[in-house]
Amino acid sequence: MIGVQLAQRLREAGLSWKPALGDRFAVPDRDLDDEVFVLSNMTIQVHTVPEGRMIGFNGTTEWALDDVELEEALWLPREDQLRELLGGTFRGLRRAADGFEVTIDLLGEERRFEGASAEEAYAGALLHLLAAAVA
């Protein structure tokens, strides 16, 4: 799983989140950086209210947390989601000396990105694609 800092870099690079069941997220800056939450039908759901979209924590009496604005939540994409976001540029994932390496092809140029985990390697490649889309 990618960490909060890498997820924040992806958000700042322009990655947007369309919440779906099973998505993992964090709520940084509320002393909850180390907590990972998962959207589910039973306990954590996205609600649309007049003020915007909110993440509702149903039945969470142990926390002082009832609702969080969607913008306050930070998506922690899974490996499969990161791979899917690479789309047709994705060429492969392989084990490297210190972790994993993802290969993409961007406009005929092959690029490699390493990470301690497969998710980190995918995220590095995605950061590159997001930067290239802006340039």
Q: What is the DSSP string of 35-85?
A: EEEE--SSSEEEEEETTEEEEEETT-TTSS-SEEEGGGSEE---HHHHHHH
pLDDT digits (tens, 9 = 90+) for 3-23: 999 999 999 999 999 988 899
**Of the ranges 26-30, 103-107, 109-113, 120-124, which one carries the lowest mean pLDDT score?**
26-30
Same domain, 20 and 54: yes
Same domain, 59 and 12: yes
**Total of domains in the chain:** 2
Same domain, 66 and 107: no
**Is residue 96 packed enough to be buried (19+ CB in 10 Å), middle (13-18) or exposed (0-12)?**
middle
Where in the sequence is the domain holding 123, given as residue range(s)? 79-134
Helix axis angle, 4-12 relative to 118-134, nearest 10°? 20
Same domain, 64 and 108: no
CATH number at residue 116: 3.30.160
